[in-house]
Amino acid sequence: MNSFLSNFPLTRPRRLRKAEWIRKLVQENKVSLDDLILPIFLTYDTKSSLVNEMPNIYRYSVNDAVDIANKAYEVGIKAIALFPEVPHEKKDALGTEALNEENIICRTVREIKKNVNGIGVICDVALDPYTLSGHDGILSDNNIIDNDKTVDVLCKQALINANAGCDIIAPSDMMDGRVIKIREKLDNAKYIDTLIMSYAAKYASSFYDPFRKAISAASNLGTYKKKSYQMDYSNSNEALKEVALDIKEGTDIILIKPGLPFLDILSNVKTTFKIPTFSFQVSGEYAMIIMGINNGIFNKQEIIMETLSCFKRAGADAILTYFALDAAEIIKNG
C-alpha cells in the first residue's frame, strides 16, 4: 500500500474525483431501490397520528397502512416492517394480545396481502408492544426476563403472524435459542418457506428511545432497561458469537442494529459470515437526522443518501430506514 504514496507526482488520486462523471464511473457501492425496507408504526385508532419524537412519521390506522404499503410498492420499495402501538388496556404481564389473531398486526397483514401484491411483509417477534413492563419478554417472580417461557410465547406469536400471511418473521427479542424454536414451530405448521430474519446482534441502545415512545413502551422498563438481553455496546466479538448461533439455528437473514454507530459490527459480520445481512437505521438515528434537516443544518437529500451509502459500503444487503420513501424518490429522480 505504501508504494502508492511514494509515486507522487505520477500518482494523483484526485484525477478520479475531478468531475461527477468519473466519480460515478469508479463508484464502488450504490444504494438502490432493491435495498430499501420501510418500517411502519400501526395504531388501533381509526385515525393515524403523528409520532412526536419522529417528525413526519405516523402511527397508521389499518386503512392508511394499506395505502402506505401500496405507495411503497409503487415507488419500488421491496418490503415493509410493521410495529404496533397497543392501547394500555390491551397490555398485560404476559403480552397476551400478541397472540390474538385479531390484533392490529394480523389484521394489517391480512389487509395488505389482500390489497397490495408484491411487497414483502415483515413482522417483529417480541412482546414489548404488548407487555405492561415494555419488556420483550415475560418477567418472572424475581423480576428477571424468563428466557424459555418467553420463547414459547414468541413461537406462538410467529405462528399467528405466519397464519396472517407474513413473509418474514423477525425475532427482535434477543432471547437465547428462539430462532431454532421458531423455525421448528413454523415447519411443523408447514410454513417451510416463511423466512426468518433474526435481529442477531442487537445492542442495548439509547437510539431506540423514540421508537419506544412511538409504541408507548418506554416508561416501565426499570433502570437496567433491556441490558439483561440486549448486547453491551462495548463488545464486538460477542456479535460474532450471536450471529454464528442464529445461523446454526436456521436464520435466513441476519440483522445488525442500531445502524450508523455500529457499522464496524456490520462490516465484521458480513466479512466473516457472507450471508444476507441487513441493518436498521433506527428511530434515534432518524430523529437526529430529521431534526438537523428541519433546522436547516443538513441538506435532506445529501444526508439521507450519504448515510444509506455508508450502510452499503459497510456490507448491508438491505436497510430498514424511516427515510425509505424519501430515499426511493431521490433515487428515482437520479
Mind telling me the catalytic residues?
202, 257
Query: What is the three-class DSSP state of 124?
Result: strand
Closest CB 90 distance from ligand PBG, rounded Å? 17
Cell triple for 208: 431506540
Q: Residue 39 is inside which H or E element, if any?
A: strand 36-43
Buried b (16+ CB within 10 A) or exposed e, 106-145: bbbbbbbbeebeebbbbbbbbbbbbbebbbbbbbeeeeeb
Using the minimum distance from each CB to ligand PBG, give the nearer residue, 35 or 136.
136
Closest CB 283 distance from ligand PBG, rounded Å? 3
Regarding 208 and contact with ligand PBG (CB under 6 A), the answer is yes
Three-state SS sequence of 249-291: CCCCEEEEECCHHHHHHHHHHHHHHCCCEEEEECHHHHHHHHH
Regarding 168 and contact with ligand PBG (CB under 6 A), the answer is no
Regarding 211 and contact with ligand PBG (CB under 6 A), the answer is yes
Regarding 172 and contact with ligand PBG (CB under 6 A), the answer is yes
Q: Interacting stretch for ligand PBG, rule CB under 6 A, among 60-68, 72-80, 120-128, 261-269?
A: 120-128
Contacts of residue 108, defined as CB under 8 A and 6 or more positions apart, other chains included, come to: 42, 62, 65, 66, 82
Which of 35, 53, 97, 136 is close enough to bind ligand PBG by CB under 6 A? Answer: 136
Site for ligand PBG in 279-298 (CB under 6 A): 282-283
Q: At what angle do helices 263-273 and 237-248 cross, to 10 degrees?
A: 50
Q: Interacting stretch for ligand PBG, rule CB under 6 A, among 17-25, 141-149, 204-212, 232-240?
A: 204-212
Q: Interacting stretch for ligand PBG, rule CB under 6 A, among 66-74, 101-109, 112-120, 124-132?
A: 124-132
Using the minimum distance from each CB to ligand PBG, give the nearer residue, 255 or 328.
255
Which of 212, 213, 270, 312 is close enough to bind ligand PBG by CB under 6 A? Answer: 212
Contacts of residue 49, defined as CB under 8 A and 6 or more positions apart, other chains included, come to: 43, 58, 59
Cell triple for 83: 410495529
Size of the site for ligand PBG (CB under 6 A): 12
Regarding 128 and contact with ligand PBG (CB under 6 A), the answer is yes
Residues that bind ligand PBG (CB under 6 A): 124, 126, 128, 136, 172-173, 208, 211-212, 226, 282-283
